[in-house]
Structure 1
Amino acid sequence: MASDVPGSRFFVLEEGMFGPDDTQFSKVAPVNRGDPPQCPRCGEPMGMLTWLSPYRVELELYGAAPGDFVEGPGYDVLISQRVAEAYQEAGLTGLLGFNPVEVVRIRRKRKGAAQGAIPPYFAVIACFGRGAVDEARSRIRRSEPVTCPECRSAGVDSVHGFTLEPGTWQGEDVFRPRGKRGSIVVSERFAALVQRHGFTNMKFTPIEAYVWDPDGKGPPASPRVGPG
């Protein structure tokens, strides 16, 4: 099983948990929220409530230095200024927002953790991309069937590798795919940018090798057929 976009590979982006730059964040009051985006076809919410200004956070440092990529609650993530600048200079696409963040507090969560210089951060979200999970050739156990051919929202119990339906990806470098919006998927271009600049606290897993199975339910018993 592999991605069927000629010349392209895709990766699930996650934080580098337990690494030397392990950093997380939580939002600090007042936390203002807006309505979640809705599927234009079925009208169901796509994701969580949106985070609105002011963007105030508490950083939690588990490693020796603050990372360039920081995950927190919801779909919002923080990227350092140097990531933001390199991303924009490279002309990559898919990240939205770029809202400056105020770091209100810093907490060391691991004994002996050193605190490096805190970089300026920006709050961003990954767009809901056009790339869609190929249900027939992905190993995703769902708690309910996919019914909407647009958002393809359905509960996920486990993932044991997935791929994108040919012809659906529209060139986004960072996106949440239709049918698997709980994951941030990135292009080879984005992964190469991170490697070239040495950005920290990012882990990349090829989508065909990605496993998420918190309850040990295993892969689906048989291949599924995607929406018609």
Structure 2
Amino acid sequence: MDSEFSTSPSFFVLEEGASSSRYDAELEKVEPVNRADAPRCPRCGDIIGLLTWRPPYRVELELHGEEPGDFIRGTGYEELISERFAESFRAEGLTGLEGFHPVEVCRVRCMRKRPSQPLTVPRYYVVWPCFGRAAVDLVLNRVRFAPPPTCTECRSTGIDTIHGFVLEPGTWAGEDIFRPRGMQGRVVVSERFKDFVERHGLTNIQLTPTEQFVRDPSNLGPAPLPTA
């Protein structure tokens, strides 16, 4: 698949680790759950994200693995990161995360047999990957849009399938973690972020080169290659 693209992998899609892993966990927000308006495109006014979670930040964790990891995906556009993740991210000057608000973990429900050792729950912070300037290339991707985007700013539209994508050259502003224009529902990270994760051994994180990222729930296949 890499030969179908003109650039070598330099960006990665960020996801949680595999389900049923050692760090498999889900979160549930504890009432009251306050939400602010969803973000909108400054040009066309269309909604480009989900409702924003507002204080108080209180959660329950449902632990399917053996222990909570450094990264837990939220139920909206927010993410939970551990204290060591947060401190290292800021200390090394990485960019693209917003928020860093402390989260109260009210309860942990162990869905498997309770571990013999006392369970250690990290201190968590809630963060939001920023909406970046990097834009999904509308020509070089194997993405089926439904319908094609009409706004040149947000490039927001429905997506049926993804069989790899690249970013339009010259649009990336240098953020280490961000949501790209045209694919705001995905979190993309830089090579520097990938190195950061590996050096610190951060857990419950899966990184896939954007050129190799596939999501095709209806088995529609990739979009046709562009013709010369």
Q: TM-score, normalised by structure 1?
A: 0.92
Q: What's the CA shift for 1:221?
A: 3.4
List gaps (5 residues or longer) in structure 2: none
User: What residue identity is the alignment partner of 1:120?
Assistant: R
Distance in 1 between residues matched to 2:180 and 2:139, nearest whole Å: 15
Distance in 2 between residues matched to 1:27 and 1:11, nearest whole Å: 28
Q: What's the CA shift for 1:113?
A: 5.5
| Cα distance change of structure 1 residues 208 and 113 upon mapping to structure 2, 3 Å threshold | farther
Instruction: Give identity over the alignment, percent.
Output: 55
| Number of positions where the alignment pairs a residue of Structure 1 with one of Structure 2 | 221
Name the counterpart of 2:49: 47
User: What residue identity is the alignment partner of 1:10?
Assistant: F
**Residues 161 and 209, structure 1, Cα contact 8 Å, conserved in 2:** yes
User: What residue identity is the alignment partner of 1:194?
Assistant: V
Q: Deviations over 1:103-147 (max 9, x none)?
A: 1121123x2363630010000110000000001000101121110
Distance in 1 between residues matched to 2:90 and 2:157, nearest whole Å: 33
Cα RMSD, aligned residues only = 1.6
Distance in 2 between residues matched to 1:175 and 1:211, nearest whole Å: 19
Distance in 1 between residues matched to 2:206 and 2:160, nearest whole Å: 22
**Residues 142 and 224, structure 2, Cα contact 8 Å, conserved in 1:** no
Distance in 2 between residues matched to 1:99 and 1:117, nearest whole Å: 20
Distance in 2 between residues matched to 1:45 and 1:192, nearest whole Å: 33
List gaps (5 residues or longer) in structure 1: none
Q: TM-score, normalised by structure 2?
A: 0.92
Q: What's the CA shift for 1:64?
A: 1.1
Q: Deviations over 1:123-176 (max 9, x none)?
A: 011000000000100010112111000000010011000000000000000000
Name the counterpart of 2:14: 13
Distance in 1 between residues matched to 2:62 and 2:6, nearest whole Å: 35
Query: Counterparts of 1:25-174 in structure 2 under 5 Å?
Result: 25-109=27-111, 111-112=112-113, 114=115, 116-174=119-177
Distance in 1 between residues matched to 2:224 and 2:180, nearest whole Å: 23
User: What residue identity is the alignment partner of 1:214?
Assistant: P
| Cα distance change of structure 1 residues 90 and 143 upon mapping to structure 2, 3 Å threshold | same
Distance in 2 between residues matched to 1:201 and 1:70, nearest whole Å: 7
Distance in 2 between residues matched to 1:217 and 1:116, nearest whole Å: 44
User: What residue identity is the alignment partner of 2:24?
Assistant: D
Distance in 1 between residues matched to 2:186 and 2:40, nearest whole Å: 18
